[in-house]
Amino acid sequence: MQTIGTRRNPSPAQADAAVIAALRKIPTALLSDNMQGLVGTANLRPYHRSGRMAGTAVTVRVRSGDNLVLHRALDYVRSGDVLVVDGGGDINQAVTGQIMLSYLESIGAAGIVIDGAIRGAAEIGQRDFPCFARGVTCKGPYKNGPGEINVPVSVDGLSVAPGDIVVGDADGLVAFPQLEAEQLIQKARAQGLKEEEGMRAIREGRWDRTWIAALEEKHGLV
């Protein structure tokens, strides 16, 4: 019988490949805006060279600075998955580095998210395999455990359940249940078209800013 603190659950069903492909083209800012601006990270940054990330979450919770269970979690990751690691935000010891990331890339994983520290940042920064983390240190991890695999986690305030879709780019990360993906895609695409029209209006000298006065009046600022 598994107890809280040592649970290891099977990896959930993966999101549809067409949905993931569509989300990989949508900025996280548009997705966050259509979740009322409440969903997203602020303190995890990309350490890879370039590129957006989207995939199905396989989650891990580790003791701060310890990566024993993170190594076991590699057995649960499939092509297209994002490994999401709740390291409690601790950056005193790195919990992963270029060796583990090289393995994930070799099996076709979509990326890794760590609310903790990495090392090997120079090498990671020369590659396009998505890696988002809170910080960097040369100090390596412990390997004592415990930890959990495929349980709900939190990374930088972002709640992620196993099987959620995780999307990341230079602005940050968002996560949401698979059932909400189609609606989010539609809303984000519609907002993207409106923003494209705004940029076109700026170029053509016809950007409408009359809405500012209306909001100022509403809030008693005039």
Q: What's the pLDDT tens digit per position in 129-167?
A: 999 999 999 999 999 999 999 999 999 999 999 999 999
Encoding tokens for residue 180?
Answer: 């909400």
CATH homologous superfamily of domain 17-178?
A: Ribonuclease E inhibitor RraA/RraA-like (3.50.30.40)
In 63-184, DSSP assigns E strands to: 81-86, 94-96, 111-118, 131-136, 147-149, 153-155, 158-160, 165-169, 172-176
pLDDT value at residue 7: 96
Which pLDDT value is given to residue 30?
Answer: 97
Is the pLDDT confidence value at 21 over 70?
yes
Residue 1: its pLDDT value, please? 63
pLDDT above 70 covers a percentage of the chain that reads 100
94 - beta bridge partners? 117
Distance of CA 210 to the CA centre of its chain: 36
Q: Residue 87 pLDDT > 70, yes or no? A: yes
pLDDT score of 201: 87
- Residue 83 pLDDT class (50, 70, 90 cuts): very high
pLDDT at position 128 over 80: yes
What is the pLDDT, as a whole number, of residue 162?
98
In the chain, where the domains are located: 17-178, 186-218
Give the whole-angstrom CA distance, residue 152 versus residue 199: 39
Q: Mapping DSSP to helix (H, G, I), strand (E, B) and coil, where does residue 130 land?
A: coil
Q: How far apart are CA 10 and CA 164, in angstroms?
A: 14
| pLDDT of amino acid 222 | 76
Write down the pTM of the prediction.
Answer: 0.94
Mean per-residue pLDDT for 163-172? Answer: 98
**Tens of pLDDT along 99-117?**
999 999 999 999 999 999 9
β-pairing verdict for 172-176 and 165-169 = antiparallel
Q: Which two tokens stand for residue 156?
A: 């930088």
Give CA–CA dist 193/189, Å, rounded.
6
Tokens of 80: 């297209």
pLDDT higher at 222 or 92:
92
pLDDT at 133: 98
Predicted confidence at residue 143, as pLDDT, reads 96
Say which range, 70-79, 177-186, 208-217, has the weakest mean pLDDT.
Answer: 208-217
Q: Which residues contact 192 (CB under 8 A, 6 or more apart)?
A: 26, 27, 30
